[in-house]
Amino acid sequence: MAAREVRSFERFLAGYKGYIVGLKLRFQFFILLLLLVSGCATMDGLRQSVLVASSPAGAKIYNRGRLIGTTPGYVLIRRERRPKLSLAFPDGKTRELDLSTKYRWGDSFWGNVLFLSYAPVGWGVDLATGAAWRILDPQKMSLPGTAEGGTMAVRRVAVAPPLVGDAGGLSDALGSMIQKKLSDLRRFEVLDYEVTAPVFEYFNSEQGISDRPEDAHSLYGELGVDHVFISRAEAKGEGYLIEGDLVDVFSRRPSSKFAWEVRPESDELKSDLGTYRLFNERFHWLPNSLFLNISQYQPNLMINEANYAGTSQRGHKWDEELLNYVSFISLSHMERPRRRSGASGSGTSFQRRIFQTRNSLLISIRHCREAALIGGTRMPDTVWRLGI
């Protein structure tokens, strides 16, 4: 009797096997969705760069008892509803700074609305972690009887990628040249352009400093400079005229103007530059890249622990054949990838921060040969590009 009851119970469970498997899949999907939804603003970053200034300058900035910088300076602090900072002046006086915040409607509220019924989970995570708040720059803290300071001395400079009117591909070549010109003045330290250019690009400032305060603050805080050199290059004769300003990163005001005329020395380089300009001015619309989609899809179906391999069905009507060829081969115009030694290194704090602040689903295409999933997992890419 007992054996019969056991077999009956096993048959009962077998009938519900599909239902139980479905529950497990739904539970796993729900956990995955929670990980993805865990606050849009939270994934955007729990820390924010804030500009702190004082008069007199040189006050030490403390956050939760930890020294994080000196004034004036961009400091990275954790987002929260009511953040506080402490300033310790050289004469021994201390002042407390209560920072104001605003709710991040775009990043937190509307970003989580996209997930419909799971939006409250994202809102809750953002509020619990403090990522729902944007911290405003505090007003300049001045001690009584202190005279306002003058223009910030130029000590450390980073060269922003110059704006090139007719050929963006020359931006890096001119940027390295500007770095050398400024370094030859021997008046201040100029950071290596190949190291700083990827930082400008990462914070959306490769074509001028970003209009978003968050990007500009993070950029200046990451660079650790007091001035940036912002320039524009215009074609002139056989070369380029470069005009630029040294801009104070704290006051955002220009302090010095510079102008140079750059010309290629060799006849071969002059010819190449002329051809390059002609292409960019008149033939830039022509495709220069060929894409081949060699990926295939073979579905597999599991029924009662038996695996059934499916095959993709190719259509033979004229419109289906046309679609197959169009999807297999495509032409495009692509800018030549930039090759910067600073961008490939993994030893800098900037490169490590990229991997820390982006979630695990971010995919970056490298050298058009493989797609690298952050976290070390790699998978082959099915799209190969042939330069023309």
Q: What one-letter code names the amino acid at 174?
A: L
| pLDDT tens digits, 360-383 | 232 222 222 222 222 333 333 333
Q: With respect to residue 115, please indicate whether it lies within any of the assigned structural domains.
A: yes
Q: Say whether both 59 and 84 belong to one domain.
A: yes
Cβ neighbours for 326, distance < 8 A, ≥ 6 positions apart: none
Map 108-148 to HEC letters: HHHHHHCCHHHHHHHHHHHHHHCCCEEECCCCCEECCCCCC
CA end-to-end span of the chain, whole Å?
Answer: 79
The range of the structural domain enclosing residue 324 comes to 290-332+358-387
The pLDDT assigned to 87 comes to 93
Residue 87 in any domain: the answer is yes
Q: For residue 351, is it within any domain? A: no
Q: Do the Cβ atoms of 83 and 135 come closer than 8 Å?
A: yes
Q: Name the burial class of residue 163, with classes exposed (0-12), middle (13-18) and buried (19+) by CB atoms within 10 angstroms of its CB.
A: middle
Q: Is 340 left (phi over 0), alpha (psi -120 to 50) or beta?
A: beta
Domain count of the chain? 4
Task: Give the Å distances, CA to CA, from 45 to 50, 83, 234, 354, 357.
Answer: 14, 16, 38, 11, 6
pLDDT band at 3, cuts 50/70/90?
Answer: low
pLDDT at 121: 77
Task: Tell me the per-residue pLDDT of 181-190, one tens digit each, with 9 for 90 and over.
Answer: 899 988 999 9
Question: Residue 206: which CATH number?
Answer: 3.40.50
Task: Judge whether 344 and 356 are in contact, CB under 8 Å.
Answer: no
Q: Please, are residues 136 and 102 in contact by the beta-carbon 8 Å criterion?
A: yes
Whether the bond into 72 is cis, omega within 30 of 0: yes
> Does residue 179 belong to any structural domain of this protein?
yes
| 357: nearest Cα among 215, 195, 188, 165 | 215
Residue 245 confidence (pLDDT): 93
- Residue 79 CB-density burial (10 A; 0-12 exposed, 13-18 middle, 19+ buried): buried
Pair 231, 185 in one domain: yes
pLDDT digits (tens, 9 = 90+) for 278-324: 666 676 667 766 666 655 556 677 777 777 776 666 666 776 667 66
Same domain, 294 and 239: no
The answer on 211 and 174 residing in a single domain is: yes
> Of 208, 241, 276, which residue sits at a domain end?
276
What's residue 299's pLDDT? 66
- Burial group, residue 131, by CB count within 10 angstroms (0-12, 13-18, 19+): buried
Assigned domain for 341 exists:
no
Range with the largest mean pLDDT of 120-124, 300-304, 341-345: 120-124
Lowest mean pLDDT among 93-102, 242-251, 293-302: 293-302
User: Are residues 272 and 172 part of one domain?
Assistant: yes
Tell me if 100 sits within 8 A of 137, measured CB to CB. no
State yes or no: pLDDT of 336 exceeds 70. Answer: no
How does strand 54-55 pair with strand 141-142? parallel
Q: Is the dihedral of CA 344, 348, 350, 356 positive or negative?
A: positive
51 neighbors 67 (Cβ within 8 angstroms): no
**Both 44 and 24 in a single domain?**
no
0.75 exceeded by pTM: no
Q: Say if 126 falls within a structural domain.
A: yes
Of 140, 172, 200, at which residue does a domain stop? 140
Contact between residue 119 and residue 41 where contact means Cβ atoms under 8 Å apart? no
- Whether residue 188 is found in the same domain as residue 298: no
29-59 b/e (C-beta count within 10 Å ≥ 16 → b): eeeeeeeebbbbbbbbbbbbbbbbbbbebeb
342 belongs to a structural domain: no
Indicate if the pLDDT at residue 252 is higher than 80. yes
Report the alpha-carbon distance of residue 51 to residue 38 in Å, rounded: 28
The whole-angstrom separation of Cα 83 and Cα 72 is: 18
In percent, how much of the chain has pLDDT > 70? 55
Q: Is the pLDDT confidence value at 351 over 80?
A: no
Q: Confidence class of residue 227 from pLDDT cuts 50, 70 and 90?
A: very high
pLDDT at 105 over 70: yes
* pLDDT of the residue at 182: 92
Chain position carrying tokens 């070369």? 239
Residue 237: the pLDDT is 77
Listed residue (226, 291, 235) closest to 261, CA to CA: 235
User: Can you give the pLDDT at residue 85?
Assistant: 92
187 is a domain residue: yes
pLDDT 10s digits, 127-182: 888 888 888 888 888 877 555 555 567 889 999 999 886 555 678 888 888 998 89
One domain, residues 127 and 191: no
